[in-house]
Structure 1
Amino acid sequence: MDTTQATLLRQIGDHTARIGVIGMGYVGLPLAARSASLGFHVLGFDVSPQRVATLNRGESYIGDVPSADLACLRSAGLIEATTDTRRMAECDLLVICVPTPLNQTRDPDLSFIIAATDSIAASLRPGQLVILESTTYPGTTREVVQPRLEAGGLRVGDQVFLAFSPERIDPGQTSSKGWGVENTPKVVGGVSPACTDLAAAFYGQVTSRVVPVSSPAVAELTKLFENIFRAVNIALVNELALLCDRMDLNVWEVVEAAATKPYGFMKFTPGPGLGGHCIPIDPFYLTWKAREYDLTTRFIELAGEINTQMPRHVHDLVVRALNRQRKALNGARVLLLGVAYKPDVDDYRESPAFKVLELLVEDGAEVIACDPHVTRFESHHGKIYETIPLTDELLVSCDCAVIITSHSAFPYERIVSLAPAVVDTRNATATLPSDLRATVELL
C-alpha cells in the first residue's frame, strides 16, 4: 500500500477526512447528514443558492432528514453548504449525487455528472477519492468520469482514486420502514483494488454492510438491474389489471390471493403509472447502452410500453365513472387526490398524476389537485399548479374524485361518502364497508 492510499485510509478511519457531497437533494443530503453525524466534517455543494442558504440555516427540505438533526450538526460545525466549487480542493473525498435524467429523445443525459466531474477536475489534487453515486449506464465511471479526472495529468488508481457506488435511497422509507443510509447495504466497485478498498472503507463507516464488486461497471449494472426488476414486475401486474378490467375481475383480490403463497412469489401491485426519479427513467439507460452491443432489450422495452399505458387507463376509468352519473368528461370537475409519486412523501418527480392530469385537461375537464405533502407542482408542459386543502365542500362539489396517491392523511370513508364518483387506483378504499366500496371504480 502506497503512502497516498495509506494516508487517506487512516483519515477515513479516524474521521478526519473532509467529505464533499455534490448535489444536496434526496440522495446527497441524507448521505451528508449521516456522515456528519459520525463526526466527519462535511461540505455540501449545490447549484441552488436557495438550497445552500436553507441548509446553512440548519433547515431541511427533505423529510428523511429532520431539521432538528440538521440544526444540531450545523451548530456543531460538522456540516456546511456552498455553491463555490473551488472549495472542492478542501475535500479528501468527494461523492457525486447529481440527477441523471433523460433528454428530449429519451436518451441518457449525463450533463450533471459531466459538470460535477469537471468541477472536481479543476482543483483535483493527489490523494483525493471520487465516488459516483448517480444512477447511470455501465461504463460511465471509466468512459466519462475517469478521462476527465486524468486530463490534468494525475493517474486514477494510484495518485487519485475513483469508484462507483449506486445510491439506494427510497424517500419515506426511513420513517415508515426503518431503512436509511445507516443500514442499507452499499455496493462498491473501484477502477482498481486500491480504489475499491478506499471507497469500501468510507462506506464501512457510514452503513452496516458493504458489498465490494469487481468493477464500476458491475456496480453500475447492479443498480439498473434492481430498478428494472421493479419496472418489469410492475408492468406484469399492470397488464394483469388491464385484463382483469376486461374480464370484470378484481385484480386486487387476485394479487392478495397470490401473495399468500409463501415461496416463489413476490407481491407487486398495479397503479396509475410509474413515478419517482428512478423506475420510470433507469430502464432507458440500459436499453440505450444495449444498442451499442447490437442488442434490443425487448422485454424491458415492452414493460415500459405497458407502464406508460396506465395513465390512459385511469382517464378511461374516470370517463366510465362519469358516464354512470350521466355526465361527460368535457366540463366535468375532477379532483385528483395525491400528486406525490408515493404515499406520505413530498417527492413528485415523474409522478403519474401529471400525465393523468394532462389527459383529463385535454378532454375538457377542470382538474383540481389535493395533496397534504405538496403545495405546488409543475406539469410536464411547464404549467404551475397549486394544490388546495381537501374539504367536504370540495368533495361534494366535484364530479369525480381520483385517488392517485394513497396518503395516510386522506379520509377515505369521507371521500367515498361525499364525492359523487370515485376512482381508486391504489386500492386505498379496501377496508371500507362493502356497501360504500361498491360505488368505487377500482383500477
Structure 2
Amino acid sequence: MSGPLSGLRVLDLSRVLAGPWSAQILGDLGADVIKIERPVSGDDTRNWGPPYLTGVDGSSELSAYFLSANRNKQSLAIDIASDKGQQLIRELVSESDILLENFKVGGLRQYGLDYESLKTINPRLIYCSITGFGQDGPYASRPGYDFLIQAMGGLMSITGQPDGEPGAGPVKVGVALTDIMTGLYATIGILAALNHRERTGEGQYVETALLDVQVSSLANQAMNFLASGKVPQRMGNAHPNIVPYEAFPTADGDMVLTVGNDKQFARLCEVLGHPEWADDERFSTNRARVANRKELVPRIRQATVMRPTDEWVLELEKAQVPCGPVNTIDRVFSDAQVLARDMKRHLSHPKLGEVPTVGNPLKLTLTPVDYRTAPPLLGEQSRQVLETVLGLSPETIDSLVREGVVGDVAE
C-alpha cells in the first residue's frame, strides 16, 4: 500500500455514515482499514436500498448507500457479543493504531471494548467515538440520526422557503450533511492525535458528536445571531449577508449568481444591459444591496429570464462574474470539470465487476489518494485478516465460523 497513512491499521467498528466516512478517508490516504461487522446482517446500510449493484451472476449485491462510504476496507464479520468475538477484537487492538466506533454511550463498556479497557492493551491506541449528542449532558443517552440533528441543530430552521411563500417550511439538506461533516471532524481529530502520538508515543481518546458538529457548522449564521441577537430565518436560496447571491430564472431553467464584491456587481450590470444599477446609491455597495434586496432582486429576475442558462453563463464567465447552472446529478457527472478532476472513478470487484465510486477531493502531489479496493462483501476478508494479522490457522478459523463467532463470505 502507498499513501501518507500507509503502515497504520484502523479498526472500523462504526456503521451507517459518519464513522464509515471517516474510515474511508483514512483508507484513501493509505491506512489498512478493517471494517468489523455483525455476521449475517453486517452494516445497516447494506440493506438501505434500492438501488443495489448486482454481480454478473446475480449472486452478490451491494447497496449504493453502502458503496458510498466503504471503499479501501476489508470486511471482517465478528460477533462482538460473544466472549470469543470480544477476545478477537482485543487481539486486533494490540496490532492496530486507530479504533473508530459509533455505539451509544457506554455501549461497548459491557463488552470490555471501551477506551479505558483497551488502552491497557495498547497505550498507543487512538480511540475515536462518534455519538449523536456526546458522552455527557442531558441528551447523552439518546440515539442520534442526521435528520434529527439537522432539526435540533438549527440547520432546518434556515433551510427552505420563507414563511408566506409557496412551499414554505423547514427543509433538510438533500444529503446527510451532518453525518458527513462529523466524519470529517472525526478524521481531523484522529490526525491531530496521530501527530501527538508521533511526538510523545501516547495514544488518546477522541470524541465528536453530531449535534456539536452541526452547531459549529452554522458558521456565519450562528455568528449573525450571536452578534445581533436576531434569529436567522429561512431565505430560500438567498444569502443573509450578500446580494445578489441566489438562483435566478432563465429562459430555459435556472442559474446561480454568486456576486461577492462591488466590482463583480458592476460587471454583472453591464452584461445584463443595466450599467446604471452599479451607480445607483441603493445598489452600489453590498451593504446597500442587502438593505434594498426587495427592489434589486426582482429587477435582476426580469433581466435573466430573457435568455437561456448556457448563454448567460457564457457571457458572465467572460465578464468574470461567478455564476453557474443548477445541475441535476446526471449533469454533474458529465460535467467537463468534474471529469477532468477524476471525481468519477471505477474499481474492480471480483464478484461485482466494475464498481463506480466518487473520487476523493484531496489532491496530494507526493502521496496521492490510493483507490485500491471496492467496498467489500460482508465477511469477504474475514479469513484473510485473521490469518495475516492474528496468525490464526485455517482450522481455528473454521471452528470460529461454525460457532457463529466469525462470518465468512463463503457461507
Query: Under a length normalisation based on structure 2, what TM-score does the superposition of the two structures give?
Result: 0.30
User: Normalized per residue, which structure has more helix?
Assistant: 1
Rg comparison, structure with higher value: 2
